[in-house]
Structure 1
Amino acid sequence: MADTHSSHQQVPVLFSFSVSSRPSSVPVGSGYEVLIQKFLSIFGRQIDVHRKLVLQYFSEEWGQYIDLPKGFVVSEKCRLRLVPLQMDQIPVLGNLSPASTAFFCCDMQERFRPAIKYFGDIISVGQRLLQGARLLGVPVLVSEQYPKGLGSTVQELDLAGAKLVFPKTKFSMLLPEAEAVLAETPGVRSVVLFGVETHVCIQQTALDLIGRGFEVHIVADATSSRSMMDRMFALERLARTGTIISTSEAVLLQLVADKEHPKFKEIQNIIKASAPESGLLSKV
């Protein structure tokens, strides 16, 4: 008599990663998420989850491995492999559009004013970015590092219309409440990130976002640290991970993209006076 509980049936699968191959099995109907977890359980620390990974199966029809089609589930014995792509194989184009972008404003708080280099300048540029985001309908998330001890966001930054203002003790902004907002706006694939400090909260936020598959743009003229050396090496490291180091004017004009955009004149007014060319300039 046939087993009617087909979901409990196991299908043999050959799992390959790098130069290793291991036979195992998964339940009938297993899809992408189950297969990824199976790869992780078999190969463990060999797999760098922060790299872009492609899951492929061996096609008898073509006689080679091909990318897993959307909606693929295991229904019969098969061979699968997980392929990590080199960063230089993934061109990061850095295109921005309001419908697919969110702004992250990180820890621009009063207590940091005397310590952060060129803090007044990055506040000025931050104002431009927040104003542009409101005009273009781009969601803004604002974090405050331990506000009980370090104070609120500086008064010069108008947070009216921000999607979320939240406290944190973790350095990265990518906390569950921020992830929930991103999940509510599933079209978002690019994050424009600015604030302090470049080598701590900005860097850790950027790395977490990249690990989740987001494209990250760091606004160099709105991002600083107490130490210019820390800032410089953080930006260099992040650029090597595929993070795009940009400027406020470039970001805003990329978001409107066309002189005929209905908000172009208003964005033009924001950037009419150039952003301050502070001591940050030579330390990018």
Structure 2
Amino acid sequence: MPNIPTAQSTIFFCCDLQSGFKSSIYGYDQVVATANKMVKLAKVLDIEVVSTTQYAKVFGGIDAGVDLDLLGPLKIPTIDKTLFSMVTDEVKAILEARPHVEHVVIFGIEGQICVLQTTLSLLSLPKKYTPYIIADGVSSSSTFELPILFDRLRQEGAVVTTSESLGFQLVGTSANPKFKAFSAFVKETKAATTRAGEVLLLGKSV
């Protein structure tokens, strides 16, 4: 039987989306737009969000375009790290304190480094987690890395999907009491979602 993610079994990971990387990441603005979309989705569906920074002293904090404060109590304080993987001791403790979590949704940068190593770390933990990678919310300094990355992630056991597809999967049914708010959210973010897909997945000019 498939292991289907629900809002109750899911946590979001926002990986190192820092303004200090802006000049080196392809489609950076689109990654930020999708990350902000995922934050809004988390708010609608009551999903907690873990965020990390990579050596914030040098690369700065989470980009101001990602409105983590919108989350209120769903926002877990940002963890600074030097490890490339997000799965630090602090993040392991967050997961261990939430035994209901089985699915981890990952978006951010850089794809072939921190997103990949976060995924591999999750898959190596004693508890079985299924990582979901948001393809329209991940990028790299080199675009050739992305298709290779997504193939590798699938081979390792992660699910590569899109922000809209995952959103509908988490809602599950139009009978969900949150569907009306979710439907309004989908319409609100449609243009940015299309643009992110065109740039990050179809290679259209930024």
Give TM-score, length-normalised by structure 1.
0.65
Aligned twin of 2:201: 281
**Structure 1 counterpart of 2:93, one-letter code:** A
200-209 vs 133-142, which moves further:
133-142
Mind listing any 5+ residue stretches in structure 1 that lack a counterpart? 1-90
Aligned length: 192
Deviation for aligned residue 1:279: 2.6
Aligned twin of 2:152: 237
Higher RCO structure, 1 or 2 (CA under 8 Å, sep 6+): 2
SS of equivalent to 1:271:
helix
Mind listing any 5+ residue stretches in structure 2 that lack a counterpart? none
**Structure 2 counterpart of 1:119, one-letter code:** Y
Deviation for aligned residue 1:94: 5.2
SS of equivalent to 2:33:
helix
Deviation for aligned residue 1:152: 0.6
Aligned twin of 1:111: 20
Task: Tell me, yes or no, if structure 1 residue 224 matches structure 2 residue 126.
Answer: no
- 8 Å Cα contact 1:96/1:254 also seen in 2: yes
CA–CA separation in structure 1 for the residues paired with 2:94 and 2:10: 12
- 8 Å Cα contact 1:142/1:166 also seen in 2: yes
Identity of aligned residues (%): 32
Give TM-score, length-normalised by structure 2.
0.89
**Structure 2 counterpart of 1:153, one-letter code:** I
Deviation for aligned residue 1:278: 2.6
CA–CA separation in structure 2 for the residues paired with 1:94 and 1:130: 23
Deviation for aligned residue 1:251: 1.1
Aligned twin of 1:144: 53
Residue number among 236, 241, 263 corresponding to 2:178 in the alignment: 263
Aligned twin of 1:209: 122
SS of equivalent to 2:108:
strand
Q: Give the helix-richer structure, 1 or 2.
A: 2
CA–CA separation in structure 2 for the residues paired with 1:214 and 1:240: 15
CA–CA separation in structure 2 for the residues paired with 1:261 and 1:242: 29
Larger C-alpha radius of gyration, 1 or 2?
1
SS of equivalent to 1:153:
coil
- 8 Å Cα contact 2:109/2:115 also seen in 1: yes
Aligned twin of 1:3: none
- 8 Å Cα contact 1:105/1:141 also seen in 2: yes
Task: Tell me, yes or no, if structure 1 residue 175 matches structure 2 residue 175.
Answer: no
- 8 Å Cα contact 1:118/1:278 also seen in 2: no
Could you say what the CA RMSD is over the residues aligned between the two structures, in angstroms?
1.4
CA–CA separation in structure 1 for the residues paired with 2:184 and 2:31: 19
**Structure 2 counterpart of 1:209, one-letter code:** L
Deviation for aligned residue 1:164: 3.0
Residue number among 221, 246, 251 corresponding to 2:166 in the alignment: 251
CA–CA separation in structure 2 for the residues paired with 1:203 and 1:94: 21
Q: Give the strand-richer structure, 1 or 2.
A: 1
**Structure 1 counterpart of 2:52, one-letter code:** S
